[in-house]
Amino acid sequence: MGERSVGDIGAYIRAQRESAKVSLRQLARSAGVSNPYLSQIERGLRTPSAEILQQIAKGLRISAEALYVRAGILEQWPASAVTDAVLADPELSERHKQVLLDIYQSLRREHPGTDRSE
């Protein structure tokens, strides 16, 4: 993950936190991290793990996938019923989601214009 994306994810988390009117302390507590660590994430000084991003997303009541895309952990996928279902499945790990979506996109590229009603 590049320097730019670390700052981007931190700024995005801060904006989401402020928009939700959640204090740094409240979010740190619900995410299970210290106030200083969350502050460093927001300022782009620390790179949060996928697990921490998931806890932050839960604390903000936003999609963990949105944070993963923002952090460069997951690729942004065109909206479709398939991608939405894969991303929403709580039984799949983030790695499994990525692999399934890679395969799906590969098949779509190999067979463009295939009747989607099949």
pLDDT at 3: 39
Averaged pLDDT in 10-residue chunks for the chain of 118 residues? 59 90 95 96 90 90 78 70 79 80 81 56
Does residue 80 share a domain with residue 63?
no
Does residue 82 share a domain with residue 51?
no
pLDDT at 108: 79
pTM exceeding the 0.85 threshold for the entire prediction:
no
Does residue 56 share a domain with residue 96?
no
Provide the domain limits for residue 36: 3-71
pLDDT at 24: 96
Does residue 57 share a domain with residue 94?
no
Whole-angstrom Cα distance, residue 45 to residue 17? 17
- What's the total number of domains in the chain? 2
Does residue 107 share a domain with residue 63?
no
Residue with tokens 């936190």: 17
Does residue 118 share a domain with residue 85?
yes
Whole-angstrom Cα distance, residue 100 to residue 81? 14
Whole-angstrom Cα distance, residue 45 to residue 48? 10
For residues 108, 64, 99, 91, the Cα torsion angle rounded to the nearest 10 degrees is: -110
